[in-house]
Copies of this chain bind each other. A is one copy, B any other.
Amino acid sequence: MEKVTINSVAKHAGVSKKTVSRVLNNEPNVSDATREKVQQAFKELNYRPNPIARGLAHNRSFIIGCLYDNPSKSYITRVQSGALEACQERNYNLLIHPCELRGEPLIDNIETLISTSRLDGLVLTPPFSDNKELVDYLKFRNVPYARVAPVTLDDESISIKSNDTQAAYDITKLLLSLGHKEIAFIKGHPDHSATEARFDGYVKALGEEGIALKTEFVAEGNFSYHSGEDSARKILESAARPSAVFASNDYMAAAVLKVASQMSLKVPDELSIVGFDNAPIARHIWPGLTTIAQPVEDMTFRAVTLLIDSINATEIENMVEIFAGKLIERQSTAQFSH
């Protein structure tokens, strides 16, 4: 297969390569006749511009990096899926970068990533979205970035928020409306800002009913299945067992279900359980988990789209958008029966 470059197209169409470049980029100041000729040559030769050469000329890589450190595989693939779609639409490539938050020094890691791969921009997903050190570094290095699901807002970057607090409030309200008064809570990883946000919603809902927060009903998890197990044991084996458990994500909720099974506690008759995220496991276990579905793909898609557009815009405009979660009721919740 003969290599087709801009030169061959130019020769074929009988014009200069600069003119070909003009047609390629939809630049003005090309006569209709010439444009036609060149486009014809594109087709006849099946020409594809070389993104690498283009990148060199522009001093750009047309690559967006996606940073994550999340135990949930399904969350990661959803993030990737949204990011990929946005990239493909704009002819960018996506470079995935899983990354241990507590591993080697984060900044060094990112520094290497950026300078070796020449990323044009970076999407931060939780828990990086709220990592001040990282955000400051990117700002200092002048690397465009977008934040997915941050809690803190700096008004200086593209941020696509989810309203975790509201959603957590809603799902807690659901439990309350079912007659539950003793509702335990399992927190997520302290590095994730969603952890506090979700907890806040829970606290707010309880507060509105005039129910005091019981410290023995609040366990410290870290979003992992394992931490959910430990927390569930602590909560369910305590003297005053709650009638419902709100786990900050579905993995931990699944772990609560497992512990309940092992203790022969019937769910939802003797114990209601709710999770968060609507991970696949929420519908893969029996009973299915009542949980909050978040539009992860949409959020990431939007973040990457805004990021790429801001890279190519002359005027940089930073914006915040908020996406809402949706309550999904399955079989793990039921009316409280004394």
Chain A, residues 267-285, CB within 8 Å of chain B (1/0): the string is 0000000000000110111
How far is B261's CA from A96's CA once the two chains are assembled, in angstroms?
Answer: 39
| Size bracket of the A interface | 35 or more
Instruction: Kindly identify which residue among B56, B76, B115, B117 contacts A56, using a CB–CB cutoff of 8 Å.
Output: B56
Minimal beta-carbon separation of A6 from chain B (angstroms): 13
A262 within 8 A of B: yes
B118 lies within 8 A of A52 (CB)? yes
A258: chain B residues at CB < 8 Å are 284-286
Q: Which chain A residues numbered 83 to 99 have a C-beta less than 8 Å away from chain B?
A: 84, 91, 93-96, 98
A52: chain B residues at CB < 8 Å are 52, 55-56, 61, 118
A84: chain B residues at CB < 8 Å are 96, 98
Q: Which chain A residues numbered 280 to 302 have a C-beta less than 8 Å away from chain B?
A: 280-281, 283-286
Q: Which chain A residues numbered 19 to 66 have a C-beta less than 8 Å away from chain B?
A: 48, 50-53, 55-56, 61, 63
Q: Is the interface of A mostly helix, strand, loop or mixed?
A: helix
Q: Taking the full assembly, how many copies of this chain does it contain?
A: 2
A261 lies within 8 A of B284 (CB)? no
B93 lies within 8 A of A117 (CB)? yes
Minimal beta-carbon separation of A279 from chain B (angstroms): 9
Closest to A255 in B: B284
Closest to A83 in B: B96
How far is B285's CA from A262's CA once the two chains are assembled, in angstroms?
Answer: 11
Closest to A75 in B: B73
Q: Which chain A residues numbered 159 to 202 have a C-beta less than 8 Å away from chain B?
A: none
A-to-B contact residues, CB < 8 Å: 1, 48, 50-53, 55-56, 61, 63, 73-74, 76-77, 80-81, 84, 91, 93-96, 98, 115-118, 141, 225, 251, 254-255, 257-258, 261-262, 280-281, 283-286
A-B contact pairs, 8 of them (CB 8 A): A48-B116, A51-B118, A52-B52, A73-B73, A73-B77, A73-B280, A81-B98, A91-B116
